[in-house]
Amino acid sequence: MDAIAAEAGLTKPVVYKHFGDKAGLSAAVSSRVADDLVAKVTAALGSQVETASEDPRAVIAITVKAFVEFVESDPELFSFLLYPSAGRTPTEDIRSLIEAIAVPMEPILAEAANVVGDEIPAGIALRARAVLGLAYTSVDWWIRGGRDRMERGELLTTLTALVLAIFDEVNDQVG
């Protein structure tokens, strides 16, 4: 908190007043990262709207690539969210981040599976979170040493194929 206050040009009591404690600061960072990640993925998809509507599989590839690029841009921030440090537990941070991304994914998955109605089936809600867990752990492995064993292109291809398999399963079961 001392370093954060100094970097921001504030006193530590001002930082504590605004965030409450380290957990509050961590939650704020997690929320900001979720917003930034959703914006990055949305921008990537927005630039490919025509392609995506012609080839829904392109949506997955674009999303996976945007996620990997986001993590690559600041691996230390990604590690901050995944691994505990003094005064914080990552579980709540990751849960918040996953929920911030999964909730908007649910209607997209439901639409892809031709689900009609306001209620999202539990299987689709679960798959939205499974896709994110898969992406987080896979990219974490790659960032933390997997680059020595797997080229970036192979990561993108493999991760996209795994995510597509989950989406195909949704279509098979619901569609």
Instruction: Answer whether 174's CB lies under 8 Å from 123's CB.
Output: yes
Compute the distance between CA of residue 74 and CA of residue 115 in angstroms, rounded to an integer.
37
pTM: 0.72
Provide CATH code, domain 2-174.
1.10.357.10
Q: pLDDT, tens digit, for every residue of 35-84?
A: 787 788 777 766 655 554 556 677 778 888 888 998 899 888 877 777 76
Domain ranges of the chain: 2-174
Of the spans 20-24, 55-59, 139-143, which averages the highest pLDDT? Answer: 139-143
Q: What pLDDT shows up at residue 175? A: 46
Residues in the chain, total: 175
Instruction: Round the average pLDDT of the chain to a whole number and report it.
Output: 79
Calculate the dihedral angle through the C-alpha atoms of 82, 20, 99, 45, rounding to the nearest 10 degrees.
-80
DSSP 76-115: HHHHHHHS--TT--HHHHHHHHHHHHHHHHHHHHHHHTT-
Question: How far is it, in rounded angstroms, from Cα 44 to Cα 7?
Answer: 32
For residues 132 and 102, the answer to whether their CB atoms sit within 8 Å is yes
Dihedral angle sign, alpha carbons of residues 147, 151, 153, 158: negative
Identify the residue with better confidence: 174 or 81.
81
Where does residue 119 fall: left (phi above 0), alpha (psi -120 to 50 degrees), or beta otherwise?
beta
